Amino acid sequence: MSVTDAGPVAAPVRQPAVQTPFARFVADFTESRLATFAFILLVVTMLLALIAPWIVPQNPYDLAQVDIMDSRLKPGTPASSGKYTHWLGTDGAGRDLVSAMLYGLRISLLVGVLSGLIAMAVGAAIGLIAAYVGGRTESLIMRIVDLQLSFPAILVALMLIAILGKGVDKIIIALVTVQWAYYARTVRGSALVESRKEYVEAARCLGLSNGRILFRHILPNCLPPLIVVVTVQTAHAISLEATLSFLGVGLPQTEPSLGLLISNGFQYMLSGDYWISFFPGLVLLATIVVINLVGDQLRDVLNPRLSK
């Protein structure tokens, strides 16, 4: 910003506030009330998941705290120990549903966010290299990307799970393998555009190394579309993990995510005990929708074609 005349005006006219790019970004983002609300909800959800062990009435996986006699209690029933009330009922093993859901949310978010970030790192690096190196390497990488994207994610994930087996680490590997291609394609697209711009040429004339140009000059300029893909893909990852866990081929019973809770409750659904599946499903749904809403708004804000 430019400082204009600092003349002897007694009552200073209000200067246009200094707008850092970040402040502008925040202002643009909060323009949509729905997205702001979704963002706040997302932060609250993440906080709840983070502090779950300290706020839930029981540790649902500590057998000493769970009473099997309390199984399938209706929402609002007091616990047999009398210390707290099962506001959302209990599941088939007598676990307090609120506690189980918050623990499940922790695992779902952990798996989703972690696999989203790893996939981004891997995919972005590969995409950047493809765009920068060009030639045969590029066409080989993009062929693999196209091939993988022509198969549905769930099929690729199932195949990997069949090969790798169960477990948190295995699921994350599967999700990363499913998702890296989206990042690679996005980054390659914007890196191709960026690498033809003058600042890259200038950097090259200065004799900077390839690595430095790639990661310090081109990559930061590819970030906006990447951030949008991260949000959308994280929501996908959470949904996909829940689906795999529901199918019984995802996380093991010892580390139940929301999908597994829903799956466990499904067997009681037909006898009318709806809450065991219903509430974890609502939380899962809310998480996915909230992330998507934030992602949508990010796309609008970060899209240079739409900026005013």
Shortest CB 84 distance to another protein, Å = 27
- Told to check if 292 binds another protein by CB under 8 A, we report yes
* Residue 147 binds another protein, judged by CB under 8 A: yes
Residue 129 Cα distances to 182, 187, 210, 223, angstroms: 15, 10, 10, 15
Go through 217-254 and write b for each residue having 16 or more CB atoms within 10 A of its CB, e for each that does not.
bbbeebebbbbbbbbbbbbbbbbbbbbbbbeebbbeee
CA separation for the pair 6, 182 (Å, rounded): 52
Evaluate whether 300 touches 34 at the Cβ level (below 8 Å).
no
Least separation, in Å, of the C-beta of 25 and another protein?
Answer: 24
242 binds another protein (CB under 8 A): yes
For another protein, give the closer residue by CB, 65 or 292. 292
Number of neighbours of residue 190 by Cβ within 10 angstroms: 20
Query: Are the C-beta atoms of 277 and 284 separated by less than 8 Å?
Result: no
Nearest alpha carbon to residue 131 among 186, 208, 202, 203: 186
End-to-end alpha carbon distance in the chain: 18
Which range touches another protein (CB under 8 A), out of 20-28, 58-66, 95-103, 261-269?
261-269
270 binds another protein (CB under 8 A): yes
Per rule CB under 8 A, is residue 281 in the interface with another protein?
yes
Write the CA distances from 2 to 9, 15, 23, integer angstroms. 18, 11, 17
Give the pair of three-digit tokens for residue 308. 């005013």
Report the residue number, 58 or 263, with the smaller CB distance to another protein. 263
- Stretch of residues binding another protein (CB under 8 A), selected from 68-76, 88-96, 155-163, 176-184: 155-163
User: Residue 50's CB: how many other CB atoms inside 10 A?
Assistant: 14
Query: Among 164, 173, 208, 223, which residue interacts with another protein (rule: CB under 8 A)?
Result: 164
Binding part of the chain for another protein, among 112-120, 147-155, 191-199, 300-308 by CB under 8 A, reads 147-155
Beta pairing partners, 96 = 90
Least Cβ distance, residue 233 to another protein (angstroms): 13
Judged by CB under 8 A, does residue 65 bind another protein?
A: no
Q: Which of 97, 176, 262, 294 binds another protein (CB under 8 A)?
A: 262
In this complex, which beta carbon is closest to another protein, that of residue 45 or of residue 243? 243
Instruction: Give the interface with another protein as residue ranges (CB under 8 A).
Output: 139, 147, 150-152, 154-155, 158-165, 235, 239, 242-243, 246-249, 259, 262, 266, 269-270, 272, 274, 277-278, 281, 284-285, 288-289, 292
